[in-house]
Amino acid sequence: MNDRKPIYLMSPALAWLTAFMVIPCLLILALAFFRRGIYGGVEYTFTMENLALVFDPLYASIFLKSAWIAGLSGVIAVVVGYAAAFAIAAAPARRQPMLLFFAVLPFWSNYLVRTYAWIVLLNREGLIVSVVQALGYDGELPKLLYTESAVVVGLVYNYLPFVILACYAPLSRLNPEIAEASRDLGGSGWTTFRRVILPMTVPGIATGFVFVFVLSIGNFVTPALLGGGQFQMIGNLIYAQFLTANDWPFGAALSMFLIAIMMGLLTLQTFATERASGARREES
């Protein structure tokens, strides 16, 4: 390894990340070990109370709830997104860029606007209810807006393009002769998918899932708008500690715990991707 790489080209990005990412994170980490002042603010005496409070059943259950919603959103987004990516990768090559463009199109509008649109669709006088009633159903409809399902729908909708892109990449790189080889050796279409195509595209699935999970578990906009304050996700809890309860140390402790979960998952995903891509050539 004596080839020199222009590492200095990374320095602006590194400086930026250090100043606005690493240092703030360290500040939050430090904050988590201080006591809350009586009238808000921070009292600079060391304590473990904030971290202990994170594991209080009340808050732990909010963490579990958030993980459940993020996980469910991730699974649904992966199933829907993988199917879409598969269809796009199977389309004629010259049509694929256009299909991808349409898949990513919602990204180009504002996150809040997109989420508000779901309120319009789901509320009691909203489009879905109107359509169902226009079709002649006049029984009681279940509540759509301000439910856990509404939050999941909103999260899946918002992050689906990520998953489509993440799954499309490995699917489009597959040599079509590999699937043909499986067919040639006696595999049915389903067996070929299960034993050859799916294992070869696991890195895309893992990337897509972790993406949705990480972005969902800390999300506070979608639960606030579509969950309607019926339940809190961890993002809302942190938001409240900093902006309404004025308990910065506890908010910092919650944040650190959340960041730790995300880092763990991203590390796992990186390892999984490297392992699946079968990198590293051994000397023969």
Nearer to another protein by Cβ, of 136 and 186: the residue is 186
Minimum Å distance from CB 100 to another protein?
25
Out of 26, 27, 52, 178, the only residue in the binding site for another protein (CB under 8 A) is 178
The residue within the footprint of another protein, chosen from 40, 195, 260, 264 (CB under 8 A), is: 195
Closest CA to 107 of 183, 161, 184, 62: 161
Q: Is 38 strand, coil or helix?
A: strand
When asked if residue 184 is in the footprint of another protein (CB under 8 A), the reply is: yes
The alpha carbon dihedral of 150, 155, 156, 161 has a sign of positive
Nearest distance from C-beta of residue 197 to another protein, angstroms: 10
Give the N- to C-terminal CA distance of the chain in Å, as an integer. 20
- Name the 3-class secondary structure at 36: strand
150 touches another protein (CB under 8 A): no
HSE at residue 70, side-chain half, CA atoms within 13 A, is: 27
Residue 151, classed as helix, strand or coil, is helix
Specify the residue, 41 or 199, whose C-beta has the smaller distance to another protein.
199
State in angstroms the smallest separation of the CB of 186 from another protein: 3
Give the one residue of 67, 187, 224, 246 binding another protein; rule: CB under 8 A: 187
Q: Is position 2 an interface residue for another protein (rule: CB under 8 A)?
A: no
Which residues, 6+ apart, have CB-to-CB distance to 84 below 8 Å?
103, 160, 164
**Residues forming the site for another protein (CB under 8 A):** 175, 177-178, 180-188, 191, 195-196, 199-200, 276, 278, 281-282, 284
